[in-house]
Amino acid sequence: MDLKIFPPDELTGAPVALPLSKSESNRQLIIAALTPGGKRPRTVAECDDTDALLGGLDATSGCVNVGAAGTAMRFLTAYFACKPGVDLVLDGSERMRRRPIAPLVDALRSLGADIEYAAAEGFPPLRIKGRMLEGGVADLDATVSSQFVSALLMIAPTMQHGLTLNLRGRVISTPYILMTLSLMEAAGIKARADFDAGTISVDYGLYKPTLPDVEADWSAASYWFEIAAVSAEPVSLLGLRERSLQGDAAVGRLFEITGLRSNFDSDGTLRLQLTPDAGSQLAVDFSNNPDLAQTMAVTCCLLALPFRFDGLQSLRIKETDRLAALQMELSKLGFIVDIEEPGTLIWRGARFDPGDDIEPIATYTDHRMAMAFAPAALYYPGLQINNAEVVSKSYPRFWSHLRAAGFTLEEVNNSDA
């Protein structure tokens, strides 16, 4: 499905009921599945990623295919490894088969797991035979994905000797690890974490069915921050918490450079309002919040705010190479963006006139590409987003929410193109 997007004369002002956090949902589902007598959360995110995890949780044999759901691949690898009686193959999309998983597999093997590569060494698919893991001490390269860390931590209480995890290299996306630890503690398992020393320890124990309700998704909120900043109109968001477990709640602080201010009302509604207090350029290390980088890059270009974004090396192994994708698609709008290795994105203000016939925005099967570029239609009416259905990975109702806000969406009939 390809969509052309036309902006409204003004936003309707209707509050946006954001989707639930898939990051929190997926962690709660794993913890609940490991809890004796535990029940699954009453409500979880309704999206492809969480559906993929749910679809695999009860499997014990055959082939479990999680598609493009990276979180499900990492979490289920550890979950299946610690479940006696499991004998299955865990697979994914072609892109998933090119996303590295060796650091997690190596750590699990060192703890007693029986995992083999069913095709290319270091990548899915995986043949997993579940067993009670001995546990002990494991080393893990923490520079690739924080989901490897979270996957190991959540199964740590099931290990005979618990787990001491030694994190090697610079730990990325630390807020996601802290979310995992907070949810584990809410379920009765307290870890001992020393990030300065690079160690996290968890004793053998039993989870308790005491998890909180799942919060709305701050990553999804970021696209509405972008819309508010670019349109200069107020936006109201529902379902978020002022004290959030999600690292992407940092979006409020990051968007202050645009002049956008966010405040919670007494009823819990988050109000976004643009002020004249915009900055002139932005330098940010996104190591802890890589999922916000696409939103911020498009926003800053549209608002003529030069930027330097560091700490983005993990974007190379996401649903697509997000650095290369951003560089290519922003060039279609006339912005000349540079990439410096290993993971820096820079816009120094260079641009050119893209003309009236702007090429459609490619999404690379990446939900965040579609949603980050959609607000650009406020400056480029009729902007086309190709394969717009990819938003189902995390925010299936994104396009209907845009319509409710006043945007006009026209489906492109490719047979007539």
* Active-site annotation holder among 48, 291, 353, 416: 291
The span from the CA of 69 to the CA of 50, in Å, is 8
Q: How far is residue 330's CA from residue 302's CA, in Å, rounded to a whole number?
A: 10
267 is a catalytic site residue: no
Query: Which residues are known to be catalytic?
Result: 291
